[in-house]
Amino acid sequence: MAVLLDANDDGPATGVVDVARMSLSELADHIEQTHHAYLKSELPRLQPMIEKIAARHSDKNSRLDQLTQVYSEFRSEMETHMGKEEQILFPWIRQIDQLPAGGEQHCGGIDNPIRVMEAEHQHAGDAVQLMRQLTDGFTTPPEACNTYRATMHALAELEADLHQHVHKENNILFPGASRAAKSVPVG
């Protein structure tokens, strides 16, 4: 059974959600209301924090300049990715979820867009892994300022939320949508 710690606007791991009992529509809503909402708040908040620590501490750790670049690209890609999910894929999944047996579905298959989203998830995971490497596991040097500490803590939370977010999509929502689409005849 897929019972996961939930994430909300304040960060990850605040409650328990039984995603296995949700309909596809409910799970898409849950992902948007928790993980996407969290990212929409957190991604822009972290950008100036990362830039600030790079500006103040890159003389002692030159990898912070690369962190700024990797994070900026990650943020841009995630914002675009969430837009595609919210505007195209999730509405399509909700449509499939609402179709009665024998109903008509959107022409074309849902598996190709799902594969694109999964590839983007892999790319996002690779970016977060690189950020983890650039920061020695999101650790701070002893002389680090409060902004540095808060930024590393926030990046670790972002990583944890992303793992839950991607798990819910790749392992529950997308396979469920693919199965449901295959069971609905194209009219």
Q: What pLDDT digit, counting tens, does each position of 26-69 carry?
A: 999 999 999 999 999 999 999 999 999 999 999 999 999 999 99
Degrees, nearest 5: CA angle 25-29-34: 150
pLDDT greater than 60 at residue 101 = no
Mean pLDDT, the chain, whole residue set: 88
Q: Residue 106: left if φ>0, alpha if ψ -120 to 50, beta else—which one?
A: beta
pLDDT at position 104: 47
Backbone angles phi, psi at 70, to 5 degrees: -60, -45
pTM: 0.85
pLDDT at position 102: 40
